[in-house]
Amino acid sequence: MLKSYRDLIAWQKAYDLCLKIYTLTNSFPKEEKYCLTSQMRRAAISIPSNIAEGYGRKTLPDYVRLLYIAFGSYCELETQMSVAADLKYLDEADKKSVGQMMIEVGLVLKSLIRALEKKLKGEGLRV
């Protein structure tokens, strides 16, 4: 039984990704501080934050809604990672490691959403 949102694999992987994004963006050009760096950090922190907030909500529909917001932030970060890679702000090793982390976060997040939506359908609720 889960005691906290911190026990969720989705939250753990999203949190690790967030820390990695913060570290990586430290090396971005100074002129990106208020643009790409800021955008990537906001998107990255939004993922585990919305997973945690959803977990703390009282209703399953609210939880699923916040997981979809987390997934939207994931998609936003995925796009921003592409921009950063194309601008050569990331070396190949970072691009590969973050890419793998992104894949894992996306998979566990989608899996959690599917499981909760299945539960909602079983209870006759709508998101």
* Contacts with 88 (C-beta within 8 Å, 6 or more apart), sequence order: none
Three-state SS for 71? Answer: helix
Q: Please give the Cα distance from 74 to 72 (Å, whole number).
A: 5
Query: Range of 77's domain?
Result: 5-122
Residue 127 lies in a domain: no
The number of distinct structural domains making up the chain is 1
**What does the pLDDT profile of the chain (127 residues) look like in tens digits?**
778 999 999 999 999 999 999 999 999 999 999 999 999 999 999 999 999 999 999 899 999 999 999 999 999 999 999 999 999 999 999 999 999 999 999 999 999 999 999 998 887 655 5
CATH label of the domain that carries residue 105: 1.20.1440.60
- State whether the Cα torsion 108-112-118-119 is positive or negative: positive
Residue 14 lies in a domain: yes
